[in-house]
Structure 1
Amino acid sequence: MQADIDHIQEIEAMSQRAAFRGARSVRDPIVVESWLRCLEKHGLDPAARSEAYIVPDSALRFHRQRSEDLISIARSGIDGLYKLVAGQNYVLLLSDSAGVTVEYLGEAAQKDALRKSGLYLGAEWSEARAGTCALGACIESGEPLIIHQSDHFDVSHGALSCTAAPIYDTSGALTAVLDVSLLSSPMPRASQFLALNLVRQAARRIEMANIMAESRRDWVLRLAGSPDFLDVDPEAALSLDSGGRVIGMTNGAARLMARSLGLDWREGARLIGRHVSEVFDLGLETLEGLTRQRDARDRFIETRDGYRLFAHAIEPQRSFVPRIARARHIPAELRDLAGDDPGMTQLLEQAAALANGQMPLLIDGESGAGKSTLARAIHAIGRRGPCITVACETIDEDESAILFGREDKRHFEPGWIDAAEGGTLILDNLEDLPPRLQARLVSLLTEHSYRPVGATRERRSTARIIVTTAADLADLAARNSLRRDLLHRVSGTRLSLPALRQRRDILGLADKLFAQAFGTAVRFDATAVAALANHDWTGNLHALTSLATTLAATIRQTGDSAEAITLTDKDFPPHLRAQGGDHTPNAQVILARLLDEAGWNVSAVARQLGVDRSTIHRQILRYGLSRA
């Protein structure tokens, strides 16, 4: 009992942050950070004992269905890890990004004790619910870690020892956590270091299996610090499109890229789309020299910041089925938002999978990237009720009733939440909502209830909440522009829209937007294609739409309106004009477009670009282009 009191007092001392920072602590810093989140972000009471929470069967089915592909890929790694620790009373848990256990391996004789402790299928170990624990702290920090006995926030978990490692998807997002736990363990924390290495290795191998499964039609560059393990157990991997741009990565590769580029490895969207030559002293044309045709010791490369590695390049499996064929699983409402961009295809597949759910969604991206359009498309395929969009910057702090409604004994005046009943409420630029209104919004996101101004009782709501922001989430939290508890509630399911300059389907989007503006098909010659493909588009889709509308209003259309209009770069404003050719950032996009328009007449394309036919043939081979 005294040990519990001492533990509670130690945690409470952490809340006195100024005093604590000046003192030394025996706790691992990652444990201290988690305790502080539990106190300040999640509002947990260290003196309260919480029973393990097992989600209802219907919710568990949802979480398992959402993780079905991951579970299938991870199966071999999970079974292999459990064999290593079997007989030592370890329990193996695989959770999704919400902290819900979607796979579980444990001794049948311990079933009742494991379920009572929460080391069981369907248990939720998010930090907000369970306090400091390996699964929850791993989701929050993104790092492998040990939470041993009294490291736990809740004293009821004090006997447990839990060790976890994150699993990232190929876009750089944390998608799952692998955990091995003990109901009781030796007192020294160091006793779990072996378990930490085992789960870290298993998570890395699961990520490797995942990127290989997703990248059968792409180049894969596998990396290791030693040539002896390069072909059997690589440390990291990148998948590359036919132009040499990164379209997928393991977490080890993300950290490697980020260090070389001077970026944060957690910002996967800033790493995807980078050309391999930006990270390594390596060109696309040299990949073939890194295949197994050469000895592993001779497959030596170096990062731009001087880090030496051995590489194994795996050629794509040749197929006449285009990679974008996966888009057949995307409803038309979402499919219309993108062309043949792999990153957008993956994002829209995720949006389609989430469209019919009830959980809040966060859509972030630069201004003009299409966040509100994506939110309305998700509503169109997932809900039957109204779709209400609210610009948060238009609501003042004393105007709660606009959003929450107003009620007295005889009258109820509905607000936007009530107006969206049965449908979707889109909150644009959530960070601009006044702090007092942000606080009132938390219960709507967590309990699906809200209290109108002047009301004494909560009202239930079935509206699906989608929020958007153009701001950096970490910056919002640091500046306290967005309440941490609110940010935690909305960021669990996040869709990050790429900037237009990062997309490979800009020419397809231009076709659509210009046709809408001109009222007829619009063609672009080689100079116009180069200008569109290589512009930075700081205003994103808004800027492209504005250009189309402006040109439609200023260019006089001649001839039959049914005939296509042809634009050159001379029709564009001066800042948009660019030169095409092999040296441009989007040369692959430009060449593919010109070949399609010319019916793959190589001579005609060569004349357009002012180069030799052999140059076009070399570029076709380099980019892996093929006639549809």
Structure 2
Amino acid sequence: MQLRNEQRQHIETLIRLSEGQASGLDNCREVIRRSWERCVGEYRLDPGRPRPVRVLTQQALKEHREPVDELLHVARAGVDQLFAQIAPLGYVLLLTDRRGITVDFRGQRDQDPALRRAGLYLGADWDERYAGTCAVGTCVHDARAITCHQSEHFDATHISLTCTAAPITDPQGQVIAVLDISALQSPRAHESQNFGLSLVNLYARMIEDAYFLHRYRGCLMLRFDTAREFVHLNGRGLIAIEEDGSVIAANGEGRALIDAHLRRWPAWTSGWVPSATQLFDGDIGDLLSIPATREDQIRAFRVRANDTTCFVTLVEPRGRRLASRAVPPSPTPVPALDRLASDDPAMHRVLKLARRLRNEEVNVLITGETGTGKEVLARALHDSGTRANRPFVAVNCAAIPESLIESELFGYLPGAFTGGRSKGMRGLIQQADGGTLLLDEIGDMPLALQTRLLRVLAEREVMPLGAEKAVRVDIRVITATHRDMSELIANGLFREDLYYRLNGAQLRLPALRERADKHYVIRSVYEALVTERQSDVRLRADAMSALLAYAWPGNIRQLRNALDFALATVDGEEITVHDLPEECQGGLAAAPQVIDSTLQPETTGEGQAFHRLLQDTGWNVSHVARRLGISRPTVYRRMRRYGLVPPNRREAETVSDSPIRKGVPWHNS
């Protein structure tokens, strides 16, 4: 009786809609309202005359299944997996063709009669033109996933059902099938079906990608994702290519990448498709050599359309190997430069240009945030070039007092000024003769000195203070800065003519937070520190995860300091997240369990002994550190580990009325 009343009310609402009235539609979702309007306006369906379920004959069903037979074969595993998950919840599964005809079905046998009456069965027609608003038919029309829940169905005989459907598209983006899960009964709330929408979407994409891989199994395939860990397992993007990089086809994620490229660089010719090397910043040799040159067969590339980073692998056709192709040889190794990065796209461009410049006399300007390794790159350029056996002199223009920078750079003769060395001094520029001079933080060089430096660069000679004759010098000049040089020039703080003398070529180092090879950088810095200290302390996975998650505003310099701190203060044979500086611990350092220090902590015997020692010493951290032979930071870490708070701190937190102070752990104050 209740169902009949609901059906009657539903029919009355739709009749008012057909008469141009909006009464009762305030809470109707826009996607459903548009479908209802199509049903009454375009399809001329009568809401007062519910239509019987239409099921095709065996012969008609066979004609619908044959065109999608290959898809059905590929989809079988995904269909079975999805049904195994939803069957215990009372759902059935339908796979329809592009016209809404159910060509595959999974359901419980004990529900057969009810499912047949509801149209949830093999051969059932769920075309919106016949069945009205429903998940399958509306999904086909809109080419998007949708849940049609109970009274959102157009036909009154369907309002007890809940149905969720997602489209499966071909490489051109056209709907070729629809995956649907439905139930005869469900909770009233529409939100109860949110899980189903996510699940059906996931499996529709899996089937779509499996069909794409099957269809283009004889082609080279680029598989990519924004996360390196997922590329081999379930990389979201698939692009089939020719051996010259021409794009043959792409899945949904691949087509989105192509569309983004076309939006940024509209094609002159309709139907033009960019090549793989236009999508990713690299040449065809970089793509084809991935399996041979990368241990994990994954390489990071910059996406030209949006300047983001994608991780790409190459899937080869079965029975065909890259060895049979003319893969361009790898560049000659340059160890000093090669060890600075793994496969970060920005660093790849920097190092590729640096290899070309290492033996040239071109002045190089290195830019990048503080701590990104500008001096390290400059040293690598020197060590990999023809001047490697000659001096490398680094000058920090910001660290030398302005009153001394002239004498430090240009040198002076005996008696040139009061307070100078009795024998005079060769300036840093002369000391670099035959080698490389690095002027770090060049943007901080005083304006008066810039004129003299310009002459050095132009004449290749230096005039020491007090000298009457210039001294010839043979130097290669590399400069580095974290400042915006164009802004300094605009404000009259840096000579424009000097800037163009220094900027023969520019190398921009990316910030550590932007690098795709952050894991490699962390591991390299850590191994270098361990070697320096002759230590065998390990870096545990939780510490590595915290280091990877941190933003590193101070870049590699800050990273080195953090790891150096951890190695200096670690109490054991491995560095955990608790051994890192607090700012690197993320949320782990912000919410320890606070235990009343007047009570024995519910922890191990070691923790209880540590607690007693703190009490015996009056919570004097220095005394505890000396007694245990460990550092003060280690004492603090143990206190955090066991949730121990000094009594004075506990009392202060008790009397404080500030909601902010109450939530702040003592070690962060």
Q: Please give the TM-score of this superposition, normalised by the length of structure 2.
A: 0.44
Greater Rg, structure 1 or structure 2?
2
Name which structure has the greater RCO, CA cutoff 8 Å, separation 6+: 1
